[in-house]
Amino acid sequence: MSDSQALISRSLRRNPWAPRTLFSNVMTGLAIACAVIAIIPLVAVLLYVLINGVSRLDLNLFTQVQPPPRVENGGLGNALQGTFYTVGIATLLAVPFGVMAAVFLSEFVRDTRLARWIGFATNVLSGVPSIVAGTFIYSAIVLTTKTFSAFSGGVALAILMLPVIVRTATEALELVPSELRQASVGLGATRFQTVAGVVLPAALPGIVTGVMLSVARAAGETAPVLFTALGWPTWIQSIWQQANTLSLLVYKFATAPYPNQQQLAWAGSLLLVLLVLVTNILARFVIRRRH
Amino acid sequence: MVRWVAPASLCALTLSLTACGGGQAPSSGPSAATSAPPAAGGAGLAIKGAGATAPYPLYQKWFDEFSKANGVQIGYESVGSGAGVKQFLAETVDFGATDSALKDDERAKFPAKRGKAIQVPTTGLFVVFAYNLDGVDNLKLSRDSFCGIVDGSIKTWNDAKIAKDNAGVNLPADPITWVHRSDGSGTTSIFTKHIEKACPNWKAGSGKSVEWPTGTGAKGNEGVTAQIQQTKGAIGYTEFSYAKENNLKMASLQNKAGEFIAPTPDAAAKALTGVKIPEDFAVSVPDPEAKEAYPIVSLTWLLLYENYPDAAKVDALKNLMKWAMKDGKAVATDLGYIPLPDEVATKVLTAVDGIKAGQ
Amino acid sequence: MALSNQQVTEIKRARSPLARQLDSGFVWLTGMFAVGVALVLVAIAVRVGWEALPAIQQFGAGFLTSSRWDPVEDIYGALPQIYGTLVSSLIALLIAMPIGIGVAIFLSEDFLPNKIQRPIVFMVELLAAIPSVVYGLWGIFVLIPILRNMGVALNAGLGWIPLFSTRPTGPGMYVAGVILAIMILPIIAAISRDALVAVPPELRQASYGLGATRWETLFKVILPAAFSGIVGGIMLAMGRAMGETMATTMVIGNANKINPSLFDQGSTIASLLANQFAEASGLQISSLMYAAFVLFLITLIVNVLAELVVRRVRMKV
């Protein structure tokens, strides 16, 4: 390093054309390019969905049933109904199940081998392909009840929601300061009273956030309802009937040749994307307020 | 949005849970929201069917008009003939619909307590080669040509075999994209039964779902139609009314007598004239002989149970069939289907009279 | 703990036996639910495996190496679908890996003030939240026309390479690969970023102190330190790509074949199930269950390995 003296005397600044610095700058450029490339599809999807979907975003979209081929107008009313039913059933099943499991993991066996094993299984469960969950429910419920139904669709969605709820609820519960629990126990509360009266309320915002995110995800899932809820062209009267969901209808109408149905597929996508956007932004708001 | 959505869904859910306690709740009309009280009497009955996509445009129109006239709500999900038969045998529907008559092994699975399976034709239909090729309006396909396209041995549009019958047409050197069904389908069954007879080199047999040597798969007649629409250089098979309604170009096909026949309901009807009707209505004309007949033609069937638990459903189904065989004819002709000849329609109604209430 | 064990026991003794029993009953109840979560996983494996049994007995391991899917003769093999599942996921990984890691580096270094960085992190996360079916719709009407034109040019220029040897007509393996890449990119980016941020700051300071530039530090110190975490993220992404159904089904072309050309149509196990499950019966349905079981096992193995790797990283944090 004979010229280092000279370099320092000139300036501490690096010569932008020195190979090392040049390499650094090029790499920085590449990293920026990666970020831009990653954002492009998001912007493109959002824009296209908005542009193509917004023209049908009116009251009819919510009150009319899906149009048959070659019939103009119509809406997504029955699909929205089906989505409410299936996601509602999934929520009713997965939330109590998941929160109870989370209570056990965070309150009673935290940091034990059992907790790690169950946590592990939960993560693996969240990696099970959604279509496999669909085949499972087909075999377990559709074949035994002998009918496709909104109910079986809801159970299939519950399988996908469950690990998300267990994980987010466990995290939320573990963030509750242990002083609260000690104070509760100190006042003579039972474990049940501590959990129900102190810990759960304190963790509620976090749990609700997780539930919201998993509801949004479930509403967009198609594969699990493909051969459980199957589809139904109009309003349904009970959860034991076949049902369409928003996601199912987007799939069917996207691959149909009729412009009216294709427009509704975009409008349905817009609803799904709005749901995702709203829940994610709300969730972010809740999380930020907590920290 | 989320704010009002949540209470609405919860409310709907509670309603449905209470409503469904004792089995099927009587349904309200399609225009009524979930909170509407159930309608009384025969009107408001809900019948559900599932199956073939090929007659779906017709059924949809039929059921819609019949519902308006009689107040019976008929839901039909065009899931494909394969699924239609499967759901029918599994008793998850009130009727099935298929483009491919029940096979013996399928009849063997029929639930005994429902009596026997009653299979009746509703209409005739025909399958066309629809294509998407700029500047070529009246494509003629000889047997050699369409066999080559289907088995993948003809790969480009300007192949000598195609060019031979299309003198003066500027056929591009573009690759041919063969579009077939990816799901089980009666349309596939009708189509492959003809291919099996017409193409000596065809090895995949015939059925609702076969092993295609080439091409792209799409779901339902809708999917195939959309795929052809979206793909330059594509050709595929679809039921006539789908191609017609979506303004796809259709090829004239060479029939057994060697004539090139354009796909029209008249030409298709010629394939069915004079055919003897067996007991189970399973008419099959895989390769019609008549000189002016369009070659790929079939009937399509409804599948009914002999025994229904609900007398109202029996009446509704009988009324539906009577209506379809008479008032429904005009709709069929209008959409490009082939209405059943009167003597067949009479036989159909006699057969439908066999369904009854009680297990 | 503020209370000693003895004190706790005394408090407990003070309660009536019934209250005590109810309380431990509550603990047991939550425990049952927790174990239940794990049991769901077992139930899926057992039930799907059970339904697949007739096909497993009929075809055995030959199912994995045969490429016939012939409902007419009732002979089934899922090689093209296994091939399609692996190839479409590999294409997706090859595209998403460099970009995802690039994004992770960009968002873990201090290139940007926090105020701008956070929305970008959020946007990348959103990419993972958009439903698969929406990607499929967008793929059919927006992505396919664009990619087809690019593909036609590639085929004209480089058609002698087997990968580009057929002319793209619309749907195909390449579209599925690109859509999957978009869908798994946020997974790779998020987990890689976690791993990068978790590298102890002392390592970076030491490297800077020795006179290394930012990128020298990244390549020689930080990336090697975060390597296992990044690999874990990539594997999780791979698992997700292999199980992805709707977007793939809508753009892959659903053809039962193996062709080295990426522009040709193909299918995956998931798309096969989505297309045929509702119609199938008899041996075909147990063959589909067999395929589902294979998919379940492949993703299970990938996920378990990924989980082990990621867990090791998280433990270090």
* Whether C154 contacts chain A with CB within 8 A: no
Cα A12 to Cα B230: distance, rounded to the nearest angstrom = 61
Q: Which residues of C touch A33 (CB under 8 A)?
A: 102
Q: What is the 3-state secondary structure (H, E, C) of C54-96?
A: HHHHHHHHHHHCCCCEECCCCEECCHHHHHHHHHHHHHHHHHH
**Quick one: average pLDDT of A56-81?**
92
- Backbone angle region of B177, left / alpha / beta, with phi > 0 → left and psi within -120 to 50 → alpha: beta
Query: Which pLDDT value is given to residue A38?
Result: 92
- CB-based contact A226 C278, cutoff 8 Å: yes
Cα A231 to Cα A233: distance, rounded to the nearest angstrom = 7
- CB-based contact B13 A242, cutoff 8 Å: no
Quick check: is A284 in a domain?
no
Q: pLDDT band for position A23 (50/70/90)?
A: confident
- CB-based contact A273 C134, cutoff 8 Å: yes
Backbone angles phi, psi at B131, to 5 degrees: -140, 165
Residue of B nearest to C278 (CA): B83
Cα distances from A178 to residues B46, B229, C11, in angstroms, run 57, 63, 19
Cα B96 to Cα C137: distance, rounded to the nearest angstrom = 30
Strands B260-261 and B252-254: antiparallel
Q: Which residues of C touch A52 (CB under 8 A)?
A: 141
Q: Is the pLDDT of residue C269 over 80?
A: yes
Query: Which pLDDT value is given to residue B44?
Result: 66
Residue of C nearest to A34 (CA): C99
User: Tokens for B275?
Assistant: 């055919």
Cβ atoms within 10 Å, residue C187: 25
SS3 B48: strand
* Whether B353 contacts chain A with CB within 8 A: no
Query: Which pLDDT value is given to residue C114?
Result: 84
Segments forming the whole domain that contains residue A219: 76-243
Q: pLDDT band for position B15 (50/70/90)?
A: very low
Residue with tokens 């390479």: C161
Q: Which residues of A touch C54 (CB under 8 A)?
A: none
Q: Which chains touch A (3 or more CB pairs under 8 A)?
A: B, C
Quick check: is A125 in a domain?
yes
| Minimal Cβ distance to C275: which of B182, B208, B233 | B182
Q: pLDDT band for position B31 (50/70/90)?
A: very low
Cβ atoms within 10 Å, residue C160: 7
| Min Cα separation B215/chain C (Å) | 6
Q: Is the pLDDT of residue C287 over 60?
A: yes
State the average pLDDT for chain C. 90
Cα C245 to Cα C136: distance, rounded to the nearest angstrom = 10
Q: Is the pLDDT of residue B20 over 60?
A: no
Question: Going by C-beta distance under 8 Å and a sequence separation of 6 or more, which residues neighbour residue C132?
Answer: A220, A221, A222, A223, C183, C244, C245, C246, C247
Query: Which pLDDT value is given to residue A18?
Result: 81
Quick check: is A9 in a domain?
no
* Whether C70 contacts chain B with CB within 8 A: yes
In the stretch 214-233 of chain C, residues with CB closer than 8 A to chain A read 214-216, 218
Percent of chain A's residues with pLDDT above 90: 74
Question: pLDDT per residue over A227-281, tens digit each?
Answer: 899 888 888 888 998 899 999 999 999 999 999 999 999 999 999 999 999 999 9
Q: Which residues of C touch A255 (CB under 8 A)?
A: 140, 250
- CB-based contact A240 B229, cutoff 8 Å: no
* Whether C68 contacts chain B with CB within 8 A: yes
Query: Which pLDDT value is given to residue C10?
Result: 60
Residue type for B313, please?
K
State the average pLDDT for chain B. 85
Q: Is the pLDDT of residue B42 over 60?
A: no
| Minimal Cβ distance to A132: which of C133, C140, C292 | C292
Cα A235 to Cα A224: distance, rounded to the nearest angstrom = 21
Query: Which pLDDT value is given to residue A109?
Result: 93
- The DSSP element (H or E) to which C17 belongs, if any, is helix C17-59
- CB-based contact C169 B231, cutoff 8 Å: yes
Query: Which pLDDT value is given to residue B225?
Result: 95
Cα C110 to Cα A167: distance, rounded to the nearest angstrom = 30
Question: pLDDT per residue over A75-128, tens digit each?
Answer: 999 999 999 999 999 999 999 999 999 999 999 999 999 999 999 999 999 999
Which CATH number describes the domain made up of C58-316?
1.10.3720.10
* Whether C166 contacts chain B with CB within 8 A: yes
Cα A89 to Cα A153: distance, rounded to the nearest angstrom = 9
* Whether C34 contacts chain A with CB within 8 A: yes
* Of B221, B43, B210, the residue nearest B125 (C-alpha): B221
**Quick one: average pLDDT of C60-87?**
93
Residue of C nearest to B219 (CA): C275
Say how many domains are in chain A. Answer: 1
Q: What is the CATH number of the domain that holds A212?
A: 1.10.3720.10
Boundaries of every domain in chain C:
58-316
Q: Which residues of B touch C73 (CB under 8 A)?
A: 205
Question: pLDDT per residue over C81-122, tens digit each?
Answer: 999 999 999 999 999 999 999 999 999 988 888 888 888 888
- CB-based contact C254 B230, cutoff 8 Å: no
- CB-based contact B206 C171, cutoff 8 Å: no
Cα C138 to Cα C205: distance, rounded to the nearest angstrom = 45
Quick check: is A257 in a domain?
no
- CB-based contact C37 A48, cutoff 8 Å: no
Query: Which pLDDT value is given to residue C2?
Result: 53
Residue with tokens 């023209």: A55
* Of A282, A270, A225, the residue nearest A252 (C-alpha): A225
Q: Which residues of A touch B245 (CB under 8 A)?
A: 69-70
Q: Interface pTM (ipTM) of the complex?
A: 0.91
Q: Which chains touch B (3 or more CB pairs under 8 A)?
A: A, C
Backbone angles phi, psi at C244, to 5 degrees: -65, 135
Question: Going by C-beta distance under 8 Å and a sequence separation of 6 or more, which residues neighbour residue A164?
Answer: A98, A126, A210, A213, A214, A217
Q: pLDDT band for position A12 (50/70/90)?
A: low
Length of chain B in terms of residues written: 359
- CB-based contact C72 B182, cutoff 8 Å: no
Q: Is the pLDDT of residue B204 over 50?
A: yes
> Whole-model pTM?
0.88
* Whether C171 contacts chain B with CB within 8 A: yes
Cα A282 to Cα C276: distance, rounded to the nearest angstrom = 39
